[in-house]
Amino acid sequence: MTAQKSTSPIAKRVPTVETWHDFKKHDDYKWLKAANWQEVMHNPAKLPKDIRSYLEAENRYFNFAMADTKALQKQLFKEMKGRIKADDSSVPAPQDEWVYQTRFRKGSQYPLYYRQPKAGGKAQLMFDANALAKGHDYFHMESPDLSPDQTLAAYGTDAKGSEFYELRIRELATGKDRRDKLKNTSGDVAWAADGKSFFYTVQDEHHRPLKTYLHRLGTKQADDKLVHNEKDTGRFTSVGTTASERFAAISIHDHETSEVLLIDLAKPKSKPRLVVPRTAQIEYDVQDWQETLIIRTNAAGAEDYKLVQAPLANPTLENWKDLVPHRLGIFLVAFGVFQNYIVRLERENALPRIVVRDMRSGSEHSIAFDEEAYSLGFGEMREFNTEILRFTYSSPTTPSQVYDYNMQTRERVLRKTQIIPSGHNPADYVARRVSAPAHDGALIPITLLYRKTTKLDGTAPLWLYGYGSYGMSMPASFNSAILSLVDRGFVYAIAHVRGGQEKGRQWYKDGKLEKKQNTFKDFIASARYLIAQKFTSQGHIIAQGGSAGGMLMGAIANMAPELWRGIIAEVPFVDVLTTMLDDTLPLTPPEWPEWGNPIVDKKAYENIAGYSPVDNVSAQNYPHILAVGGLTDPRVTYWEPAKWVAKLRGLKTDGNLLLLKTVMTAGHGGASGRFEQLKEVAEAYAFGLKVSGDINVN
């Protein structure tokens, strides 16, 4: 391995061969996976020296190659920071006799959590995350979970990026923490009704949340009662509280099957009560309302989900009755329950709406907007017995807005509009929704944003973002950082490819397992459509995606390298086949329903081997590529982008930039702190601008 900063590092080759289903699998860079990776998640200093040496050499080369963009990065950071209100705060959220709010001090990286008596009086600082973060290169704090009487708050912190949260308990009257200290948790908490104990979930040595415990305040973690031990390592387990705060709900699920256990919070030591047993490919989630359970489910062929109700005393499947019947093509995204209302978020043809149902009369009405593309979501709501629904709205041109909506009178009150201190005029921009034909005739929604003055004659550079996995839909929301690209002449586009749920559950199913190639083909088809429609031209596109979207980047780099000027792959899931063959990794067993299990299924092996980016790198020209990883990332391990870049260096036939940056102090989400995150965005944007050839980097 050469370590000179002015030349690209060459990783040593240590050829290994494995046999799976009579196939020979070659891997020259398997050594980059630390044998003690679990230990590294807890203590990054334990990374073996040869691996650290290679990653640090790549980081030095990254810094050398990007040195001419330092001034640009500073300018981009200044612009993006200038669009963020320095002393921003959330809309106060009422809960009983208090209102709760997060605030930022001018220049602070992390939030401050306040509450104030609803009747008026001095605001009380509950938590200063900036003080808690002192001395840590990385820090993340989960939102505090209040005890029922609001005298205590449980809060989880992660100081390494590995998503092992330490839970502490704070007395809000004194600001002091109790001695309770729970290690290796998921950060989720459900308080018992008496406020003397709570439920929480622990991550095991493989970083899997399988065990749920009951902790009694003042006792040792070793003495906590095991409430549920999930034996199937292919499941995720989490615990939360229903909206009425009557039950703790233990949710057990993978990507296509789920199960819920309820525990009466007034009787925390009682045995968890199963709603209905898990059934393959049937999903459901639960809220309680009076003596009824309200359930969102895909049971009985409800592909795009429906709402059913069942008696709390006997919620077996035969007692499920439709409350909101299934309607094909109208995807039921989420729902919320109040004392007198049920609200649901729906999506039809990639556009969302909120529907309010009055449970007293059965009447319904919708909340929707008129823009071509926009995003809707539920806001912070802490009260069950209320007429007020809080929701958020934004569009590619409209900064985020927070509304309080009276579900009885239908009065809509704007509580907050995101302030852009440096200025923003929505009229200067155009947001559009177009549809690109896929290889099989499907129509792929694409959200576009560009300045009115941008010429649409094929000369503009284009920035194309994509994800397309796990049913995650990419919202058409406002992102102030993107303006730094659009203001420089880029057309910004989001390709809503299959694998997401923008067009319903079938849109997701058509982009997973044996149909995964549709995700990649859709992204390529979107690019070719935008070229044909003169939004840009071939070779003038920067493609970007992260995590499973980074896998998309790796696949389209192999399949259609001529289309892209540059590719930015952040925490990219690119070593798919190797990861799915390793059942000791945190997410492998739970992910088999998404990708297939190549260990036992020869067809799944062949399918994944056909697109897995690392396994399909070949001797051809590639565009400029930037890959970013996180050393303590438990979701996409650091060695995936490292192996991808190492193999690309050995095979590619071009002279384009190939850069790997490993963040040695962070995990899947990158740097912590609202401004440190902007610096990483500025780096990615500077790379795209540097290689685009269309923009002066100075």
Looking at residue 414, its pLDDT comes to 98
Measured at the CA of 563, the angle between CA 559 and CA 565, to 5 degrees, comes to 115
Looking at residue 5, its pLDDT comes to 64
Looking at residue 73, its pLDDT comes to 97
Q: Is the pLDDT of residue 396 over 80?
A: yes
Tell me the C-alpha distance between 73 and 80, whole Å.
10
pTM of the model: 0.95
Tell me the C-alpha distance between 530 and 436, whole Å.
8
Q: Please check whether residue 155 is in contact with residue 688, taking contact to mean a CB–CB distance below 8 angstroms.
A: no
Tell me the C-alpha distance between 327 and 86, whole Å.
45
pLDDT tens digits along 184-223: 999 999 999 999 999 999 999 889 999 999 999 999 999 9
158 is catalytic: no
Looking at residue 459, its pLDDT comes to 97
Q: Is the pLDDT of residue 1 over 60?
A: no
Q: Please check whether residue 342 is in contact with residue 357, taking contact to mean a CB–CB distance below 8 angstroms.
A: yes
Looking at residue 463, its pLDDT comes to 98
Measured at the CA of 667, the angle between CA 663 and CA 669, to 5 degrees, comes to 100
Tokens of 670: 């990158």
Q: Is the pLDDT of residue 2 over 70?
A: no
- Looking at 298-372, which runs of residues are DSSP E strands? 306-311, 321-324, 330-337, 341-348, 351-358, 364-367
* 534, 580, 585, 659 from 40: Cα distances, Å: 49, 21, 13, 24
pLDDT tens digits along 247-266: 999 999 999 999 999 999 99
Looking at residue 3, its pLDDT comes to 40
pLDDT tens digits along 489-530: 999 999 999 999 999 999 999 999 999 999 999 999 999 999
- 611: Cβ contacts below 8 Å, ≥ 6 apart: 516, 517, 520, 555, 576
Please count the CA atoms within 13 angstroms of the CA of 588 that sit on its side-chain side.
Answer: 16
pLDDT tens digits along 90-137: 999 999 999 999 999 999 999 999 999 999 899 999 999 999 999 999
Looking at residue 417, its pLDDT comes to 98
The DSSP letter of residue 416 is E
Q: Is the pLDDT of residue 594 over 50?
A: yes
Tell me the C-alpha distance between 574 and 644, whole Å.
7
Q: Is the pLDDT of residue 9 over 60?
A: yes
pLDDT band at 697 (very low <50, low <70, confident <90, very high): very low
Looking at residue 671, its pLDDT comes to 86
CA quadruple 65, 68, 74, 80: dihedral, nearest 10: -70
264: alpha, beta or left? (left if phi > 0; alpha if psi -120 to 50): beta
Amino acid at 410: R
Amino acid at 229: N
Tell me the C-alpha distance between 258 and 237, whole Å.
10
Q: Is the pLDDT of residue 696 over 70?
A: no
Looking at residue 427, its pLDDT comes to 98
> Domains of the chain by range and CATH?
70-81+424-692 (3.40.50.1820)
Helix, strand, coil tally for the chain in percent (to 5): 25, 35, 45
The DSSP letter of residue 160 is S
Closest CA to 468 of 490, 428, 434, 495: 495
pLDDT band at 7 (very low <50, low <70, confident <90, very high): confident
Q: Which residues pair with 376 in a beta bridge?
A: 393
Q: What is the average per-residue pLDDT within 574-593? A: 95
The DSSP letter of residue 12 is P
The one catalytic residue among 224, 477, 633, 672: 633
Tell me the C-alpha distance between 383 and 564, whole Å.
49
Quickly count: other Cβ atoms within 10 Å of residue 311's Cβ.
Answer: 13
Tell me the C-alpha distance between 228 and 407, whole Å.
38
Q: What is the average per-residue pLDDT within 262-280? A: 97
Tokens of 238: 């989490």
Measured at the CA of 44, the angle between CA 41 and CA 50, to 5 degrees, comes to 115
Q: Please check whether residue 329 is in contact with residue 504, taking contact to mean a CB–CB distance below 8 angstroms.
A: yes
633 is catalytic: yes
| Residue whose token pair is 């939102």 | 143
Q: Is the pLDDT of residue 668 over 80?
A: yes
The one catalytic residue among 90, 108, 526, 547: 547
Tokens of 681: 């965005």
Q: What is the average per-residue pLDDT within 30-59? A: 96
Q: What is the average per-residue pLDDT within 345-367? A: 96
The one catalytic residue among 207, 326, 624, 668: 668
* 102, 220, 413 from 146: Cα distances, Å: 15, 21, 27
Q: How far apart are the first and last CA of the chain?
A: 33
Phi, psi dihedrals of residue 265, rounded to the nearest 5°: -70, -15
668 is catalytic: yes
Average pLDDT over the chain, rounded to an integer: 96
Tell me the C-alpha distance between 228 and 250, whole Å.
8
Q: Which residues pair with 250 in a beta bridge?
A: 239, 261
> How, if at all, do strands 491-495 and 197-203 pair?
unpaired
Closest CA to 660 of 555, 558, 567: 567
The DSSP letter of residue 667 is B
What is the three-class DSSP state of 43? Answer: coil
Q: Please check whether residue 184 is in contact with residue 202, taking contact to mean a CB–CB distance below 8 angstroms.
A: yes
Q: Is the pLDDT of residue 315 over 80?
A: yes
Quickly count: other Cβ atoms within 10 Å of residue 493's Cβ.
Answer: 24
pLDDT tens digits along 331-355: 999 999 999 999 999 999 889 999 9
- 267: Cβ contacts below 8 Å, ≥ 6 apart: none
What is the three-class DSSP state of 694? Answer: coil
Q: Quick one: how far is CA 639 from the chain centroid?
A: 20
pLDDT tens digits along 144-189: 999 999 999 999 999 999 999 999 999 999 999 999 999 999 999 9
Looking at residue 670, its pLDDT comes to 86
Q: Please check whether residue 232 is in contact with residue 249, taking contact to mean a CB–CB distance below 8 angstroms.
A: no
